[in-house]
Amino acid sequence: MSQPRIGINCDVGTDAQDREVLRLLWAYAEAVLRAGGLPLILVPQAEDGIADASLDAVDGLLLTGGRDYAPSLYGQEPHAATRCVAERRGKWDVLLARRALERGVPVLGVCGGAQLINIALGGTLVQHVPDAFGDRVCHSPRAGARALHVVEAEADSGLARIVGATHFEVNSSHHQAADRAGAGLRVVARAPDGVVEALEAMGEGFVLAVQWHPERLLDRPEHLALFGALVAAAAH
């Protein structure tokens, strides 16, 4: 049996000679490989035909983290702390996410990718978590630090079934989070301070958005299981 093909969006930047380059942290590809999938990088090109052709070539989609998405996408002005992804990536990611969700492609969103799913379905974001929730839980640690905290998942959620628990430990590396859930999504996990940590589709199909970075916790079975669930959904 062939490996399910998992498309992965990537970042856009420049090298030392100011040439445009694509970037993807290896941990995302490793997570897909360890879960039994075949990772394929999807090159950003914001055209409907290319988005559909890209999705035709894969069985599932992993939306990765990065900088922030333009607040204009959800009807807000930028916060002083908002730092947006490159324009090329931003336009592509939104188009890719919307087309994938319309087509019923299995989708897993990680951190910024989780926020992207919510935006694509008409939801909104908290642009700067400390303003709304304070600092009781560290969601955005300093460089090199590793913040861990417990989340509580809804007992009847797909997330709880996948990880095999309603309380488990996650990491944090974000300053934004979902606020109003997008159409067809429900909040299925929160941090102790109330920050949304996961959303999932209410209907059929696999759509899961997690605010933490499970690709950095692959030594923990419950986090590798998230990628396993995406690969399993893509195999059908």
Q: Give one DSSP letter per residue of 106-145, joined into a string.
A: -EEEETHHHHHHHHHTT--EES-HHHHHTTSS-SSPPTT-
Query: Which residues form the catalytic set?
Result: 111, 213, 215
CB atoms within 10 A of CB 155: 10
Q: Which CATH superfamily is domain 5-234 in?
A: Class I glutamine amidotransferase (GATase) domain (3.40.50.880)
Specify the pTM.
0.95
Mean pLDDT along residues 44-64: 94
Give the helix, strand, coil percentages of the chain, each rounded to 5: 30, 25, 40
Reported confidence tier of residue 1, pLDDT bands at 50, 70, 90: low
Q: What is the mean pLDDT of the chain?
A: 94
pLDDT one-digit tens code per residue, 122-155: 999 999 999 989 888 888 776 556 679 999 999 9
Query: How is the chain split into domains, by residue range?
Result: 5-234
